[in-house]
Amino acid sequence: MSNSILDTLNENQRTAATTINEHVRIIAGAGSGKTRVLMARIVYLVQDCGVLPNRILAITFTNKAANEMKTRLTAQLGSMASVVRISTIHSLCVRMLREDADLIGYPKTFAIMDPEDQKAILKPIYKTLEVDKTTISYNRALGAISAYKTNYIDPQMAANMAMDDVSITLAKIYAGYEKRRNEMKAMDFDDLLLEGHRLLNSVSSVKEKWQNRLDYIHVDEFQDVDPIQYGIIKLLTGKNTHLCVVGDPDQTIYTWRGASVDIILKFNKDFEPCKTVILNENYRSTQPILDASNAVIKYNKERIDKDLYTKLPGDEKITMFEGKEDSEEPIFVARQINEKHKKGLEYKDMAILYRSNYSSRAFERIFKSVGIPYVIYGGIRFYERQEIKDALCYLRLCTNRNEEDPDQMALDLAVLRVINVPRRGIGARTIENLQKQAAERHMNLYDVMKDPIGLSTAVTKKCEMFVDLIEDLRENREHYALEDFLDYVLDTTGYISMLKEDRESGQDRIDNLKELKEDIAQSMIEDPEMTLESYLQDIALFTDKTQETSENTVSLMTVHAAKGLEFDTVFLVNFNDGVFPSSRACDEGGMKALEEERRLLYVAMTRAKKTLYITWNTGFSYMQDAFKTPSRFRAEIPMEYIVQEEKEEAPKQPKAVVSQSLTGRPSKLGANKKKVRLRKGDAVEHTIYGQGVVLEIRGDVATIAFGHTIGVKKLNAAHPSIKKA
């Protein structure tokens, strides 16, 4: 019966599936069909070797992967598939603990806490300790608790290690959390693994019971296991049990979550005898993409050598593009996407990959402007991120009063968003009182705060301090270039200081704000006459809540999020040194981190099936306070696999003006070019959509009819991609 599935395998895959009398390490390259091999192996064990299905265990690390295994196995084994033990490692630990948790002090009916349950425990602890959740968020506390636990640091040790106010507070939160959890006899997701390991390690009868139940254990995505998970796997593997692990050390990209590449590299020393089988025939990508990927990853030392190859047709080389300015890169990418879509390629078959989340900004802006549908995979759109909204609201409070809108009621939204960010002690009852006064006096909230009625002296003082802060910002606005004014706002309000105290996500949020500064600077280059008011009006086009409901959208995601996915066409963008590889990661982790960054590049490149673009730009980076340079990894990709896209000649402009911000950072201000004014009936030329006719102008939005394949689009009339024909 299994011959049919074995016949679909190549020679190495067949060896991996049929080697059953020793431990097996399968080094499965990207796109090499590892799941098919794992399923074929289980089918072979059941149908050809007569192994009872319930004596076979397959461990994976996500519910999605476990369900996919079950579905595939059912197609081959029918009802017998349900008897094979397929589960995530957390589910396996739950099964063990439900049988014998009483042996380590828990009831067998112990509760399992999800993240919402954990936050419910934290709420009274925060109240008792008088902890402000805007200073230490629940997520930050839970992250710290998880880190303590997985590093075997108990509350007393955490308290002894605490060196500052925040770490002292986190240690107290941890102690309170563990006290309450133990009272409840409950376990969180970390406890399931830790207590499962403790049960196997400390109660020999339980360990022997499980070892005697299993003849064959299989572990998928083995390159991502951490020491605790590996410890559980080792304890489950008895003298007569054969262990088969599947993974690719070249795709170990989660060391920051505890994974260790050494585990898979040294597996053959821990389990002897061990046969290593390399799966290097790729069923996804074309040979030029694989050759380039092979060449890059060979620079790593901590790996098992393999060269991916394919029998798939295709000889298209990797296209590289260098933009001179920040805006040229996303415009080039958008043009390629549009051309491919015109030729019949679905949007959903294309993806934009980047090293860090902040990189999505420039591409979101262009895609929104030209009407390319997109979705942020596993993340939040740039202009909807909390810190970006906060910064824009502060800037909105600094705008000049508009004669056409003397009441400025829209300022209420900005006031409500930032009145307590950072925390200023203006409570909900006070805000409700101010809103009531604003309605009765027909004034906006900010004007009411200038002259509040009936408030206590202390509350009135807090209102005065907020008003004084905003008035200071307004008075100093004229002394700064617009992008440097953002620096002044964020420093003066204490917003940056607040983020620096957030060790969990503060730096990532600061990076997003630096990217917002870059957005303002680029907007100034595109329109030197731009004001704060016109910038905020323009940004309104990108901050609406409208989401693409169609499934046919271009995916924007980090390389980490792309692991396990594949697309016909991939654009690897912002391929600049300091971004990819990440300077922060390399500074903290040295050569080991650089090797992980190279593995990330390998993962990114091997997501592409037919077409791969690698792009970057040489504009000024406020992230690095310097002009951008191409990634050092570019030199590791052999020229024979590359075609360099010719740069377009930019129109000659006077030299950019360089200003200094508070921190001494240069700000590039563009040349004096006139803004194109469109009118109804104008013929226009769009860099992506081609020729069109303006049907309507409403504010900064132009309704333009293009050719029948494109149709009517609503676009930003001031965008540089549109010019009069």
- Annotated binding site for ATP, which residues? 28-35
HSE (side-chain half, CA atoms, 13 Å) at 669: 15
What is the rounded distance in angstroms from the CA atom of residue 717 to the CA atom of residue 601?
Answer: 37
391 vs 516: CA distance, rounded Å = 9
Catalytic residue among 169, 229, 241, 251: 251
Which residues are within 8 A (CB) of 434 and not within 5 positions of it... i.e. 6 or more apart?
A: 445, 448, 449, 452, 463
Q: Is residue 221 flagged as an active site residue? A: yes
Q: How far apart are CA 71 and CA 76, in angstroms?
A: 9
Helices 165-184 and 138-150: crossing angle in degrees, nearest 10, is: 80
Please report, as a single letter, which amino acid is at residue 356: S
Upper half-sphere CA count for residue 487 (Cβ side, 13 Å): 19
Main-chain dihedrals φ then ψ at residue 323, nearest 5 degrees: -90, 145
Distance separating alpha carbons of residues 233 and 194, to the nearest angstrom: 13
Residue linked to tokens 């403790």? 198
SS3 555: strand
Query: In sequence order, which residues have a C-beta less than 8 Å from that of residue 142 and are 6 or more positions away?
Result: 115, 118, 119, 122
The catalytically annotated residue of 178, 191, 195, 221 is: 221
Based on the residue annotation, tell me whether 34 is a catalytic residue of this protein. yes
Q: Which two tokens stand for residue 375?
A: 């979705």
Nearest CA to 496 out of 483, 515, 480, 509 is that of 509
Residue 62 carries which DSSP code?
A: S
User: Is the Cβ–Cβ distance between 407 and 374 less than 8 Å?
Assistant: no
Query: What is the spatial order of strands in the sheet that 23-28 belongs to?
Result: 85-88, 56-60, 216-219, 242-247, 23-28, 274-279
The answer to whether residue 35 is catalytic is yes
Residue 412: φ, ψ to 5°? -55, -40
Element (H, E) at 58: strand 56-60
As annotated, the binding site includes 28-35
Tokens 């739950």 locate to: 94
The catalytically annotated residue of 355, 607, 628, 634 is 607
Question: SS3 string of 393-433?
Answer: HHHHCCCCCCCCCCCCCCHHHHHHHHCCCCCCCCCHHHHHH
Of 25, 34, 306, 317, the catalytic one is 34
Number of residues that make up the chain: 725
The CA–CA distances, whole Å, from 238 to 56, 456, 576, 595 equal 13, 73, 49, 35
- Active-site residue flag, 156: no
For 570, phi and psi rounded to 5 degrees?
-125, 135
Q: Is the bond into 288 cis (omega within 30 degrees of 0)? A: no
Catalytic option among 15, 18, 19, 35: 35
Tell me how far apart the alpha carbons of residues 482 and 521 are, in angstroms, rounded to a whole number: 8
Contacts of range 460-469, beta carbons closer than 8 Å, 24 or more positions apart: 462/424, 462/425, 462/426, 462/430, 463/426, 463/434, 465/424, 466/419, 466/424, 466/426, 469/493
- Which of 191, 195, 220, 483 is labelled catalytic? 220
- Backbone dihedral region for residue 381 (phi beyond 0: left; psi -120 to 50: alpha; all else: beta): beta
CB 19 within 8 A of CB 277: yes
In the chain, what's the furthest Cα-to-Cα distance?
86
Catalytic (active-site) positions: 34-35, 220-221, 251, 607
